[in-house]
Amino acid sequence: MDFEEAADAVYAAPAADFIATRNELAKQLKADGDALASTRLKALRKPTVAAWIANLVARRLPDELDDLLALGDEFREATADLDGERLRELTPKRHQLLDKLSKEAARLADEEGQKVSADVGQKLRETLDAALVDPAAGDAVREGRLSSALRHVGFGVVDETGEPSNVTPLTDERRQAARDRRKAQQAETDEKATAERKREAAQREQDEREAAEKAKAKQVFEDAVAAAQQAEAEVEDLDTQLDNAREALAEAQALVHRLGGELDEARRTAREAQKESREARKRYNRL
């Protein structure tokens, strides 16, 4: 085991076991013949509660922490480009990431038996924000060996005592990986948004088609009702005409029957008159 491995093990230990773990590993380094590493390890300071939780985040939530640091890169690029619109877009994301990571950190600490007071929670959030703002602070937080919480005060990063922090930048490729992951997430979000817009457009088109079909069917129905009503009116009119015709026919038939009777009577009367006329002629001739 070398110094780096031992330092990682010390800061990964439970907060209550920091001193014991540090001393045990220092003895081991010394026994292995590395007295300088042993001395350096003994000089490591026990982390405050906020610093211990920040170290826990670095070990347990590396991707989420990288996302925060990548967002810091975007902030600095937008600031350098004087891109006010981009800065306005990034600001709510900054608060959202800090809120999310602070809540996750509190959950992890609770799982480890460490309660997070309001003061510790505020210091943890300030540490995460300092990591976002300052690249060196970000690398220090990601290293997972903080002994004190950090705070960005405008001119640099200070520790919990207000003294300038001696954070130093680390060479690492995870920041680029975080950028790529954020781009992929944004692309996925954009793709989902595009798909949702297409779905909504298709739904609107379908709704419009259905509305047009319903309107057409309604018009056909209304036309059919109007035609049926007109046909019923014509039927009623024809029924009336038929009744009138039947009444006229009945009257005509009665008239024919009456006239027929009168004609028969007139014919009988004419025959009798002709008979009387012949008899009268005969009587006249005999005279």
Please state whether 217 falls in left (phi above 0), alpha (psi between -120 and 50) or beta. Answer: alpha
DSSP 60-90: H-HHHHHHHHHHHHHHHHHHHTT-HHHHHHH
Residue ranges of domains in the chain = 47-172
* CA atoms of 244 and 64, how far apart (whole Å): 96
pLDDT in tens, 78-87: 999 999 999 9
- Residue with more model confidence, 73 or 172: 73
Give the global pTM. Answer: 0.57
For residue 5, pLDDT over 80 is answered with: yes
Grouping H, G, I as helix, E, B as strand and the rest as coil, residue 145 is: coil
Instruction: Give the confidence band of 213 by pLDDT, cuts at 50, 70, 90.
Output: confident
pLDDT in tens, 117-168: 999 999 999 999 999 999 989 999 999 999 999 998 766 677 777 777 755 4
- Residue with more model confidence, 86 or 178: 86
| pLDDT given at position 170 | 42
Rounded average pLDDT over 66-85:
92
